[in-house]
Chain A
Amino acid sequence: AQTVTQSQPEMSVQEAETVTLSCTYDTSENNYYLFWYKQPPSRQMILVIRQEAYKQQNATENRFSVNFQKAAKSFSLKISDSQLGDTAMYFCAFARSSNTGKLIFGQGTTLQVKP
């Protein structure tokens, strides 16, 4: 069975600074997808960034980038130039590529961006 672990329940960062959220996972699969989802206080979950395991290049989306270490089963999210609107709960998630796409989520990290 796959598991996803986020070891940082809460983090804070000053506006305009950079923060990194950690995520590790366990799987015996070779092909899979990893995701970071953001859940603001209004609760609607939105996708931040996606990584396909067979791609060695780390995904980037504007201020968001990942450090994907397949051998170490690590998938961290870096947020550059943090903005107040980045305040949210962030979830790391895993999906097998040979399956339905159902997501297995970590416990989440609450990120507070301070002015």
Chain B
Amino acid sequence: GAGVSQSPRYKVAKRGQDVALRCDPISGHVSLFWYQQALGQGPEFLTYFQNEAQLDKSGLPSDRFFAERPEGSVSTLKIQRTQQEDSAVYLCASSLGRRRGYEQFFGPGTRLTVL
């Protein structure tokens, strides 16, 4: 595809439900990032993949958050037992890394609302 795509665009979950958010990066992009953006705030880093390897998960807020990228392409961010504080926009970005000066290309985001 031409850009990074994410699905679903909107997700409403009841507190305690599990959710899965999908990211399709730009083909050939080795690096993939997940960010969490609260309303009116800047995005905050969650986790980073280089191909299928999760090299940095220092930003995941709790063990309820889990991310994977099993074949080095599509990635899924899973949130278990959702809480109201998980309500945010989840952004995915992909990159060619140092080769392109670390420029990241962002998807449209998934807006998660936990009731």
B45 contacts A103, C-beta separation under 8 Å: yes
Cα A105 to Cα B38 in complex, Å, equals: 12
Most chain A CB atoms below 10 A, which of B42, B44, B91, B103: B42
A105 contacts B89, C-beta separation under 8 Å: no
Binding site for A on B (CB under 8 A): 31, 33, 35, 40-45, 48, 50, 55-56, 89, 91, 93, 95, 97-98, 101-109
Complex interface: chain B residues within 8 A of A4 (CB): 42
Given contacts A43-B89, A43-B108, contact A107 B42 (CB under 8 A): yes
B101 contacts A52, C-beta separation under 8 Å: yes
- Nearest-CB distance from A79 to chain B (Å)? 19
Number of interface residues of A (CB under 8 A): 25
Cα A42 to Cα B45 in complex, Å, equals: 21
Cα A95 to Cα B103 in complex, Å, equals: 10
- Residue from B102, B103, B106 within 8 A of A44 (CB atoms): B106
Binding site for B on A (CB under 8 A): 4, 33, 35, 37, 42-47, 50, 52, 91, 93, 95, 97, 100-108
Complex interface: chain A residues within 8 A of B95 (CB): 101
- Nearest-CB distance from A102 to chain B (Å)? 5
B42 contacts A44, C-beta separation under 8 Å: no
A107 contacts B104, C-beta separation under 8 Å: no
A44 contacts B101, C-beta separation under 8 Å: no
Given contacts A43-B108, A44-B108, A100-B31, contact A105 B42 (CB under 8 A): yes
Given contacts A43-B89, A45-B91, A108-B42, contact A101 B106 (CB under 8 A): no
